[in-house]
Structure 1
Amino acid sequence: MPRTESWRNWAGNQRAAGIEVVHPAGVEAIAAEVRRAAERGRRVRPIGSGHSFAPIGRPEDVQLVLDRHAAMVDVDGAGLVTVQAGMSLHRLNAELAARGWALTNLGDIDRQTVSGALSTGTHGTGAGFGGLATQLRGFELVLADGSLLRCSATEHPDVFAAGRIGLGALGVLSTVTLQAEPAFALRAEEGPGRLPELIEGFAEFMASADHVEFYWFPHTDRCLTKRNTRVPLDELAPLGRWRAAWDDEVLANAVFGGVVAAGRRVPALIPPLARVSARALGPRTWTDHSHRVFVSRRRVRFQEMEYAVPRADAPAVLAELHRVHEANDWRAAFPVEVRVAAADDIPLSTASARETAYIAAHVPAGVEPGPWFAALESIAGAVAGRPHWGKLHGLDAGTLRRRYPRFDEFTALRDRLDPAGVFTNAHLEHVLGPVGG
């Protein structure tokens, strides 16, 4: 008899109890579990590392965990890398580096599984670079009847086009093939900035290096800027061991964790502590392997809302967010993260058909986001902002349909591939509409 278990996500804000959890190894075992659940009229949700803040991966009946289906399959001479879908990004980065390859762009967290990161539209930053799904060249999908569908630009191209960001709603990814490139380094330049100047010169600053982002500290006008430039590997000049440990472990995690904890106990401390945090990380420049620069350690747990807005509208959105925050007695201990991405052609990509800027707000894990997240959602909504699929938001299918011109193309494909709704849950029904509806 299958035993029932409980589950919670990384942030602890999504939970489920009394669910059946299975760990298949190999595509045949994945297909068998899907068929078994479908025959019993039970819903299946595949799950990666649980890094989504939204209930997109929340299981209702059967949770399918791919931790035993997580191997490297192949890397060919052209840099096409095929992996089983349960492999984590941090393992993939290490495997590629050992072979002289790298992914073109990454987000700042690498604990997700490859399939989970792709399915929710994970992205990094760079005015000329797309999200992780733009590096996808093929995938295998286990459908609701247990059959296997191989998809690429030439095999089932309609499924490939839409399924590059599939929300786990079309089937279970079993393998994915990504286009890697020869390993490269990034020269990282970090330093202070001021929000008014960054808003005024937003377009120029965000295009001033290959991969640019900044963090605004609410309760101040101070920002931390990050500019990463792609350079050859022979220019490596990494941070010294002690400087890296001090900046990334002590200041960015241990001290910041203490600041967040103090603010939770005494909210009145948050504004002065924010001013301290804004000054804590000084300027630094170093050059290291790309994945070591793209990725940051995140040991302080949080909840996040992120909206993608047309890049040209980002300065006005930031100015209004700053104005609304200053006008209210809110306490925001975490900085607001600002990134950019190129337009792409993926139906449910937050950057679909438009150059995009991303604006993300955070609160500590266990804290209600309240009006802070509501303000970001309202301000971004005024410019047709699109929420990250794996992060918190309050939009439904009716609103999302108006913000994604190809929304119905995706839902029609979902209805065709999974007519019984084997892969849905309450959240997907809320954001995509009911299967067949």
Structure 2
Amino acid sequence: MDPNAYSHFHAYTTPLIAELSWDPVSQKHIPFRASLRHKHSTWARTFYSRPELYLQPESIEELRLILTLARRLSKNVIVVGSGHSPSDMTCHTNWMVNLDNFRQVLSEDRESKTIVVEAGIRLHQFLDELDKRGWAVPNLGSITEQSIAGAIATSTHGSTLQHGILSESVVMLRIMLASGKVVECTKDLNSELFQAALVSLGALGIVVAVGFQAVEGYKIRWRQEVTTLEKFLANYDTVWHETKFARCWWFPYSERCIVWHGEHTDEPIQEPPKSWYGGSFGRWTYETMLYVTTWIPSLTPAVERFVFKMQYGWEEGVKGTAVQNSHEALIMDCLFSQLVNEWSLPLDKGPEVIRRLQDWLSHRNELAGIPISSKDIYVHAPIEVRITDSSRSTTPRAWLDQSMSATPTLYLNATLYRPFLKNVAHWERYYEAFEYLMKEMGGKPHWAKNFVSVTPSELFGMYPEMSKWVKMRNQVDPDGVFVTKWLQRHILDAKEADVAIASGEEFKIIEIDE
């Protein structure tokens, strides 16, 4: 053993690293791949942080060394992937672990179409692996840059009444706990840990492998149609049932919607129509116009109408069809930097919520019934409208699943672009009003997005299983290795958290023999 091993990190790890990194079997020191100069930012560059150490392990042994050191030195650890969460959820000043080197396929079962992958694999890499096998995911969100573990951890979802959140396709999770021990969980093995970890917020341990139930590969024929907001609301009860996949983009100043429908098909590939703001000129023009509105906000409605006309035309009717492979059809171009605030609520609340928010944005405060002034508020489009239904799932429900448990779920996603990284004025007040309405309708915020007014106690009220989740979290990480400022601020500061930790018996957890 070299007592001076990793001496350049002794200021951060103490000389203890030499002893703990020594592997008597190989007679070598376990690699400690750390950087001192990493600057972390979210994809949207909404938040930044400089971790003390940025670590990119390449093996289970390297990961265990990191956690052993962190526990001994009372360091906090966060795992990050693409940083696509627009909130400060991934920001951290202690140790930051990135699993981009954990991206291999570990096993597969051709008959059942189940596949086990390392947890750091990005969704687009995972989809490529499935495509090689003629498989696909049954449902998908709007982007594929996240790691599979990150997407699962925050209750990511798509838009269909045939499925719930992405985690419902997960059949196994392998997690390294703060102790360095590895635990495997399924609906039958360590089932309570499984339900806690299906939406883990990265706070239970480090997910190192994911078992996923794939489906036969498929194509989607889709169409998008321009309609008025009133017609969309008049057909609200049927619009979600016409096809397997459905979603809507609502443009409040145009009082129009783009309704997107998709269905499985065996037809040959048909390329989608060209997108005006998908090209470099249209994209730059749109961002520039939005930037101008940060100085002259009253121009925002005119910009929305202009862009809508350039992208879709103004007349009602079908404005585009295509046949694409499933993952190509289901994702969308998120354009540029943005703040995002998405909430789930019962599907049948949709018409009332949308009308009241439309009234508020149109400065008809008396009709909206929202006791927050809309004066000088101008927002961006589209407001995305999506759906899921978790009742069909055969996977145990995640304790922190954002969707509704007893009814189909509506998701409203209020996006505010940050043209050339500049925030619009009064964005916090817009989100406060939006959240007031969502709370009144029994809504819940998306874990990874920019909610601004929700207290820890309110989150406990929204999630009946939150106390169990907190107790499980404390049991598997009693030293708080995975506790971050975000987690403390939003959940653990609640008095309910202390009560949860002190109550009841511990969960039974069976470790695996490595």
- TM-score range relative to shorter protein: over 0.9
Q: CA deviation at 1:128?
A: 2.0
For the pair 1:307 / 2:363, whether they are aligned, the reply is no
**What's the CA shift for 1:416?**
0.8
In structure 2, relative to structure 1, the CA distance for the partners of 1:198 and 1:246 (3 Å cut) is closer
- Residues 304-323 of structure 1 deviation map (CA, whole Å, 9 limit, x = unaligned): 00000111112111111111
Alignment correspondent of 1:199: 233
Q: How many residues align?
A: 433
Corresponding residue of 2:474:
415
- Residue number in structure 2 paired with 1:406: 465
Greater radius of gyration (CA) = 2
Q: 1:88–1:112: 8 Å Cα contact kept in structure 2?
A: yes
Within-5 A mapping of 1:245-256: 248-249=278-279, 253-256=283-286
Give me the TM-score of the superposition, normalised by structure 2.
0.81
Counterpart mapping for 1:100-111 below 5 A: 100-111=134-145
Contact 1:251 / 1:281 at 8 angstroms: preserved in 2? no
Structure 1 segment 158-237 matched on structure 2, within 5 A: 158-232=192-266, 235-237=267-269
Paired with 2:282 and 2:234, the residues of 1 have a C-alpha distance of 28
- In structure 2, what is the Cα distance between the partners aligned to 1:12 and 1:72? 31
TM superposition shift of 1:420: 1.4
Helix, strand or coil: the match of 1:286?
A: strand
The answer for the alignment partner of 2:301 in structure 1 is 271
User: Aligned to 2:52, what secondary structure does the other structure show?
Assistant: strand
Task: Output the CA distance in 2 between the equivalents of 1:131 and 1:43.
Answer: 29
How far is the alpha carbon of 1:84 from its aligned partner? Answer: 0.9
- RMSD over aligned CA atoms reads 1.8
1:206: how far off?
Answer: 1.6
- Rounded to whole Å, the distance in 2 between the matches of 1:117 and 1:45 is 15
Offset at residue 17 of structure 1 (A): 2.2
Partner of 1:349: 401
2-side partners of 1:265 and 1:89: how far apart?
Answer: 38
Unaligned runs of 5+ in 1: none
Whole-Å separation in 1 of the counterparts to 2:242 and 2:282: 25
The match for 2:130 among 96, 103, 111 is 96
Q: Shift in Å at residue 262 of structure 1?
A: 3.4
Compared CA separation, residues 251 and 330, structure 1 to 2 (3 A): farther
AA in 2 matched with 1:348: L
What residue identity is the alignment partner of 2:297?
P
Q: 2:361 is matched with which residue: 303, 325, 331?
A: 325
Q: Does 1:385 align with 2:443?
A: yes
Query: How high is the TM-score relative to the length of structure 1?
Result: 0.94
**Contact persistence 2:51–2:95 (CA under 8 A):** no
Query: Which stretch shows the higher mean deviation, 6-15 or 252-261?
Result: 252-261
2:271 corresponds in structure 1 to 239
CA change 1:254–1:203 in 2 (3 A) is farther
| Cα shift readout 1:169-217 (whole Å, capped 9, x = no counterpart) | 1001101111110000111101202112222322211222111111111
* Aligned residue number for residue 26 of structure 1: 59
Residue type of the alignment partner of 1:367: N
Q: Distance in 2 between matches of 1:29 and 1:285?
A: 49
1:337 aligns with 2:381: no
Contact 2:219 2:326 in 1 (8 A): yes
Question: Which runs of structure 2 are paired with 1:6-17 in the superposition (5 Å)?
Answer: 6-17=39-50
Unpaired segments ≥5 residues, structure 2: 1-7, 10-35, 313-318, 364-373, 392-396, 502-514
Q: Which amino acid aligns with 2:416?
A: V
Matched, 1:66 2:124: no
**2:83 aligned residue (50, 56, 59):** 50
Aligned to 2:411: 358
> Aligned with 2:39: secondary structure?
strand
Residue 262 of structure 1: which of 264, 268, 292 is its match?
Answer: 292
- Percent identity over the alignment is 23
Aligned match of 1:428 in 487, 492, 495?
487
User: Match for 1:432: what amino acid?
Assistant: I
Q: Which residue of 2 aligns with 1:374?
A: 432
Given that residues 276 and 283 in structure 2 are in contact (C-alpha distance below 8 angstroms), is that contact kept between their aligned partners in structure 1?
no
CA-to-aligned-CA distance 1:340-393 (integer Å, 9 cap, x gap)? 001252210111413210001111234152222112111001012100000011
Q: How far apart are residue 49 of structure 1 and its match?
A: 0.5
In terms of mean alpha carbon deviation, does 153-162 or 326-335 score higher? Answer: 326-335
1:102–1:184 CA contact under 8 A, matched in 2: yes
> Secondary structure, in 3 states, of the residue corresponding to 2:38?
strand
Aligned AA for 1:39? R
Measure the CA separation in 1 of the matches of 2:207 and 2:282: 35
**SS of the residue aligned with 2:151?**
helix
